[in-house]
Amino acid sequence: MAGVKYTNCCFCNIQIKDIDSNNAQPLADDRCCGDCNASRVIPARIRASYMLEQMYKHKKNIKEVLK
Ligand SMILES: [Zn+2]
């Protein structure tokens, strides 16, 4: 297919189709492959949402949550 754009995973550097790439936020302002998304980005998002929950629920600031 013409017009398919490729990009490189920002973690493992393999080439992937742009439409198959994933947003690497909050780890990087870049694109990553499905494997790195599952092994790195999703766990980081889970940790981030857990930290936010701790901050809101227990009125802790970010320094207390990161201890
Ligand atoms: Zn990757």
Which range of residues forms the domain containing residue 39? Answer: 6-65
Q: What is the 3-state secondary structure (H, E, C) of 6-47?
A: EEECCCCCCEEEHHHCEECCCCCCCEECHHHHHHHHHHHHHH
What's the rounded Cα separation, in Å, for the pair 25 and 22?
9
Please compute the mean of the pLDDT values over residues 31-49 and round it to a whole number: 96
Give the total number of structural domains in the chain: 1
Specify if 1 maps to a domain.
no
Specify if 34 maps to a domain.
yes
Query: What percent of the chain clears pLDDT 70, i.e. is strictly above it?
Result: 97
Mode of pairing for the β-strands spanning 31-32 and 6-8: unpaired
Q: Please say if the pLDDT value at position 1 is more than 70.
A: no
The better pLDDT of the pair 22, 3 is held by 22
Q: Please say if the pLDDT value at position 28 is more than 90.
A: yes
User: What's the CA-to-centroid distance between 37 and ligand 1, angstroms?
Assistant: 7
Q: Residue 50 in contact with residue 61, Cβ under 8 Å?
A: no
User: What's the CA-to-centroid distance between 44 and ligand 1, angstroms?
Assistant: 15
User: What's the CA-to-centroid distance between 12 and ligand 1, angstroms?
Assistant: 4
- The encoded tokens of residue 8 equal 């490189």
